[in-house]
Structure 1
Amino acid sequence: MLFKSAIITLATIGAAVAQRPSNESICDYYTTALLKQNNATNQYTLLTLLVNTVVIGNYTQPNVGVSVPGILSPKGMYNGTKVNLMPYFDGGLASSNNGSKMGVAKNFLDGGAAAPLMKNMPADDKSSNQYKLMTHLYQFFGSLLGCSGVGMTGFSAYSGHASMYEVHKFMVLDPYEVGYFIEQVGLAAASFGVAKTDINAVVGVLESMFDYRCAPKSTAIKSQGLQYQSICSDEKCPLAMNSTCAAQPSLSQPLVANSTLAGGEGSNSTSMSGTPTSSMSSSNSPSSTPNVAVQYTPELTGLFSGALLLLAL
């Protein structure tokens, strides 16, 4: 979905600054506030903007003064600990689950890396791993945020794996890595003017579902029912109440990949800019700003400028 000149405006100041009604989902409320009309297509656009920001950091202007490094920043920091999630995405680690007994290396940046994301697209190539990953993220978070248009024309229902534990188990993520991911979701939401109370609600769901080792089954996608969902499986992760570790055995750390793994996909040299380099190029540079602007009134900016979320385990 390409928006060459997408200008996102607020329907009315009153609709945006009023407290969200308890009977209206976060997705529906902010779709109306930012895109005027609440329909499946606009909901998908909102989730595209949000998730792409989570992945590559700020790329729309303005952003209510909230800095979002993005989960692929090589200089991530969480609670004083350095975090680098890039090797899980660029094939640098044999950490993807393809149904076998050990992880494999897989490049999820094979659809144009950051370039299409900065155009509000999931990838350049619909057959790529990147396209599948990004569209599944839009669908998954659309369901979590209560988008009423999910499953309708313009917003396909989630079609990915039911258990996030199974998807991520070979990554052996620690609490800093999971915490950093959840923090980026909160910061991305804040950058679009989402109220702090709504951010806290979303983060609370993500923490309870993903952040505790051996957590019992829970429901992420209603149609998929109860599944093991926690992605924090390192021994340093806090143990869940009523833990079910026997059903979710601890695994060793993922192997460092090389060119012989996953058909040559293993690599630590692909940046989100698509240029071979040893580190990810900054998504906050002027050259990375697309033809997309989120327009905020002074009243809205003042109201939500303090909506930063700093998580603590």
Structure 2
Amino acid sequence: MRPHRHGVLPRLSLLLLSTAQMASAQERGDQSICDFYAAKNYGENNATTQLKLMQGIVAYAYAGGNSMPNGDKDSTGIFNPGQYKGQDVYLRPWFDGSKATSNNNDQAVNIQWLDGGGTAPLVAFMNGSTPTAEIQKGTNQYKLFTHWYYVFGKVYSCSLYKTFLDKSFEPLNPAYVHKYMDLNQTHVGYFIDQLIVASKYYGFSDADSNTLMTAMNAKYNARCLPPIDNSVTSICLAKECPVAVPSPNCAVYNNVKPRGVDASAAATGGGPAPSSSSPSSPDPHSSSSSSSSLSAGAIAGIAIGAAVVLLLAVGMALFFCRRSRKHTETAPSAPGAGPGPGAGPGAEAGAGAVMGSPPPAPMPTPSPAGFPPPQYGYAHKPHEGYHGRHPTDSYISYAPTSPSPGWVEVKPRPEELSAYTPVSPSIGSSPSPYRPEMTQLAEMESPEPPSGWNSTAKPNTSTS
């Protein structure tokens, strides 16, 4: 009788995987994944080789390496049509400006991110035609890729990733960056998978590749991930995305800010709203009895209330009528006022009345966005004001109260991605030809900025 071998192969696979992971860790020692493979691929570990490793992985992941010598057939490229777990995926429309998915000051806009040569400079770098990916400088694509080198340098734990950029920038929340992309688990999974395939092309072991894949999926590919280092990292934001376990925090994603996390929402936490259930059927007997008793009480209350209100109204009318008559008989006549019935309302109102007074100084009309808010003019008395029917004829008193309901306060000009970046007037329409100063507009990570970034003077720029 043959021995029973069910379960032997799974246990053997786990044993081999565990052994491979231990061997990989022992081989790297205390070096990070990036530092180790930079030295392994280019002979030494320094800022130049670390950056070159990131450039190679990013180029291979986005352009695809299935046409390269010894390239992986599964490396179709993030910019090209591909498949993930049997599902067709095509992410290029998120980058070529055909979809309004880029977040510019909380507005979905079309931006062409492939205006620096597209995949051509990436392929030229991979096949050795050029020493680097020579993306045209000054383009959106150049800014995007140089920031990606920095971002993935941190994801891959490059010890010198902060030296990858010659100009510092402010980080944004990944959830804010991807707010309008509506990415699902297949989109994000394909994105991460292409990075892992590219990493293996550069010699990453299966153990190190699996470690990276697990870490990136855990950090980005679920909804309601709790904040990490004062940053909200979920980029899988479509409704069908799985909710993070074991402790989701959906509250912090209700109003994602460009940077940081709402402290109250982070403390509250909480998972997704529970599924709606059928409401319990009300008891018809209790409902009818409550209705009848309420009707009787309501009728009595209405009758008594109406009588009281009527008596008060009659009493007040008599009081003010007698007081007005007495005041008219005893008050001296105003100088120059005609005593006859033809006298105008100003004669009876006296010098202090609003209607008989000249109108106060007009309030200035709203100033254009970007200028100081308007100051309100003074009325003759702090508690009095006059409002004309025409918007240019309105006046308001300078009082410690809010403006009239008819007055629409000027909202300040919305903050740009950076203080010196103009907003395109055609937001949300056709693919935008403008090139905003990108401060991390489309990446996954939200790293801390290099020291001294906030003391660097930023030059003025204008849209091209």
Question: Same fold judged by TM-score > 0.5?
Answer: yes
The CA distance in 2 between the partners of 1:65 and 1:178, in whole Å, is 20
> The residue matched to 1:50 in structure 2 has which SS?
helix
Counterpart pick for 2:90 among 84, 100, 104: 84
Check conservation: 1:174, 1:237, Cα contact below 8 A. Answer: yes
Deviations for 1:213-250, whole angstroms, at most 9, x for unmatched residues? 011111xxxxxx42001100011111013222233149
Equivalent residues in 2 for 1:206-285, closer than 5 Å: 206-218=216-228, 225-241=229-245, 242-249=247-254, 260-263=429-432
Is 1:148 aligned to 2:154, yes or no?
no
How does 1:27-38 map onto structure 2 within 5 Å?
27-38=34-45
Is this contact kept in 1: 2:79–2:92, CA < 8 A? yes
1:62 is displaced (CA, Å) by 3.8
Other-structure match for 1:170: 180
Match of 2:54?
47
Q: Equivalent residues in 2 for 1:111-190 (5 A)?
A: 111-120=116-125, 121-122=132-133, 124-152=135-163, 159=169, 161-190=171-200
The alignment-based identity, stated in percent, is 34
Paired residue secondary structure (2:138): coil
Name the residue aligned to 1:196. 206
Report the AA paired with residue 110 of structure 1: D
Please give the alpha-carbon distance, in whole angstroms, between the structure 2 residues aligned to 1:156 and 1:206. 27
Match of 2:385 in 1: none
> After superposition, what is the alpha-carbon deviation per residue over 1:237-285, rounded to whole angstroms, capped at 9, x for unaligned?
110132222331499xxxxx999424358xxxxxxxxxxxxxxxxxxxx
Higher relative contact order (CA 8 A, sep 6+): 1
Q: Is the 8 A contact 2:102 2:108 kept in 1?
A: yes
Number of equivalences: 236
- Alignment check: 8 A CA contact 2:102 2:180 kept: yes
**Contact 1:90/1:109 (<8 A) preserved:** yes
Separation (CA, whole Å) in 2 of partners of 1:163 and 1:231: 10
Q: Which runs of 5+ in 1 are unaligned?
A: 1-16, 219-224, 252-256, 266-313
Alpha carbons of 1:158 and 1:147: their partners in 2 closer, same or farther (altered >3 Å)? Answer: farther
Equivalent position amino acid for 1:178 in 2? V
Say which one has the larger Rg.
2
User: CA 1:107–1:122 in 2, change beyond 3 Å: closer, same or farther?
Assistant: farther
Once residues 259 and 214 of structure 1 are traced to their aligned partners in structure 2, the CA distance between those partners, rounded to angstroms, is 27
Partner of 1:21: 28
2:423 matched to which residue of 1?
none
In structure 2, give the amino acid aligned to 1:208. Answer: A
CA distance in 2, matches of 1:43, 1:137: 13
Deviation at 1:81, TM superposition (A): 1.3
TM-score between both structures, scaled by the size of structure 2: 0.47
RMSD: 2.9
SS in 2 for 1:23: coil
For residue 99 of structure 1, the aligned residue among 102, 105, 110 is: 105
